[in-house]
Amino acid sequence: MMKHILNIAFVLAGLILSCPGIGQDASFSQFYHLGHWYNPARAGAMQQQVKAGVHYRRQWAAVGDGFRTNAFNGEIRSLKSPFSAGLLIVDDKAGKAQLKTFQAQLSLAYVIKINYKSFLAAGLRVGFFQRSIDMNGLKWDSQYNGYQYDPTLDNRELVFASTTGSVLDVGAGTFYRKDGKYRWGAGYAFHHTGQQITYLQNGNDFLRIRQVFMGFVETDYRRFTGRLDAIVQRQGGAMEVLGFARGEYRFGAESRYTKENNSSAVYLGCGFRATNAIVPMIGFEWERILEIGFSYDIMLSGIARATTFSGGPEVALIYRYSIDKRIKIH
């Protein structure tokens, strides 16, 4: 009985998330790997010229099938112009009804060098946004015949005008970075312009503007690098505050001005999502080319008991490539 109630509650929560004031986009704990998802000005913000990666995230698996989020990210940075570009595809599914959100976005960034230690970037995001729901995954009171559930009975739910909606999406952002003993950066972005994708008759499921503030600071000490990342998101009545601290240790021979020899690295870290979760993380990078990161959300909020304390594993696999072999490695 309790499991049935939790399944219903989970489906209702998924529907509520599409209502005005609380609609949310998919989010990742390892947000620092997907910079232009949060701010298009971060497209191509890397030492290498090519970056590609896949990401998998699972949440609340014990309740109504939970959330499953898959993402593909590709970025390229030009050597001869101040432009960079990024492509991101995100597929998010929730609950028994497979409440699905699909987003494909193209980000274009323009970098203005202020001096040899700092730059300002501006970015524009254009994308396709689609949401759908499978009504066959839901069970209704009207489908119980007095003895058992009968899927052949009419569910009598006429509130859904459509089970699919899609819109074009637009966003923009800016980011400032400065290098030195302490490298740091900060930026602001906004996404969506109040597009409407209505499921319910007489409904106004406006996709609220998502505002994002993000920043980082890092420094080196011999073979160690310490880094702090932070992000604050607000979309309608929903807000996320997440901070991440990690330490990286590099080992192996490395050329200073070429790419002939590259060191590898291991790193450990821990994040804290305000009032919600602690997120330990571990990762390995091979010769600045391949990287794998694993994190797990340990739930702290009241939903932890309802989900039998099943948190959220997240895995990121990233490939990087440098076209110019003469880039100085910091």
By CB atoms closer than 10 A (0-12, 13-18, 19+), residue 243 is: middle
pLDDT at position 304: 57
Higher pLDDT, 157 or 245: 245
Higher pLDDT, 96 or 239: 239
Cβ proximity of 93 and 99 under 8 Å? yes
Confidence of residue 10 (pLDDT cuts 50, 70, 90): very low
205-233 pLDDT tens trace: 667 888 999 999 999 998 999 999 999 99
What the chain holds in terms of domains, given with CATH numbers, is 2-321 (2.40.160.40)
Q: How many CB atoms lie within 10 A of CB 146?
A: 5
Question: Is the model's pLDDT at 265 over the cut of 90?
Answer: yes
pLDDT at position 19: 35
Confidence of residue 308 (pLDDT cuts 50, 70, 90): low
Q: Would the pTM count as exceeding 0.75? A: yes
Higher pLDDT, 131 or 273: 273
96-155 pLDDT tens trace: 666 788 899 999 999 999 998 999 999 999 988 888 777 666 777 777 877 877 777 777
User: b/e for 286-313, b at 16 or more Cβ within 10 A?
Assistant: eebeebebebbbebeeebbebbeebbbe
Average pLDDT over residues 298-317: 75
- The C-alpha torsion from 154 through 159 and 160 to 165, rounded to 10°, is 180
Distance CA(75)–CA(71), nearest Å, equals 13
Question: Is the model's pLDDT at 3 over the cut of 70?
Answer: no
Query: What average pLDDT is seen over the chain?
Result: 81
Q: Which residues are within 8 A (CB) of 118 and not within 5 positions of it... i.e. 6 or more apart?
A: 176, 177, 178, 179
Tokens read off for 247: 């330490």
- The C-alpha torsion from 290 through 66 and 126 to 16, rounded to 10°, is -160
Cβ proximity of 43 and 108 under 8 Å? yes
Three-state DSSP state, 60: coil
